[in-house]
Amino acid sequence: MNIGQAASRSGLSAKMIRYYESIGLISPAGRNANGYRRYSDDDLHRLAFIKRSRDLGFSLEEVSRLLTLWQDRQRASADVKALAGAHIDDLNRRIAELAGLRDTLQELVDHCHGDGRPDCPILKDLESGGCCRA
């Protein structure tokens, strides 16, 4: 199978597959006589694993560790759980941060007339650094 088919069947782009190879996330694909990359069903399986991991928000660095654990028949499930747990913590931190921004902004928006007049508490806050919160 050439890269195009591996791409469409894994859900990745050909560009991404080449990139993953270039950074060492996957080992270099075999080549046909014409120089085209060749992919086996096993390779495809690995690509789909990567795709799914990325969809769940794991960074390529984390995907790399997941791949290693996946290939390792001696792995402890605790290691996988720890990796996933750390990622969940990370997601929660980012969610809390975004929610904090949203709440601050929402409060500002709530106090803005939103009419044709120029007076605007949102700009006032941006100007002065805010008066009522950290």
Partner DNA sequence: CTTGACCTTCCCATAAGGTCAAGGTTGATC
Partner DNA sequence: GATCAACCTTGACCTTATGGGAAGGTCAAG
Q: Which residues bind DNA (CB under 7 A)?
A: 2-5, 7, 13-16, 18-19, 33-37, 54, 59-61
Tell me: does residue 85 bind its own copies (CB under 8 A): yes
Tokens 């080449």 belong to residue: 18
> For its own copies, how many residues bind (rule: CB under 8 A)?
53
- Identify whether the C-beta of residue 6 lies closer than 8 Å to the C-beta of residue 39: yes
**Sign of the C-alpha dihedral computed for residues 60, 58, 46 and 9 taken in this order:** negative
Q: Which two tokens stand for residue 62?
A: 């984390």
Q: Which two tokens stand for residue 122?
A: 């949102």
Question: What single-letter amino acid sits at 39?
Answer: Y
* Contacting residues toward its own copies, per CB under 8 A: 45, 48-49, 52-53, 56-57, 66, 69-70, 72-78, 80-82, 84-85, 87-88, 91-92, 94-95, 98-99, 101-102, 104-106, 108-109, 112-120, 122-123, 125-127, 129-130
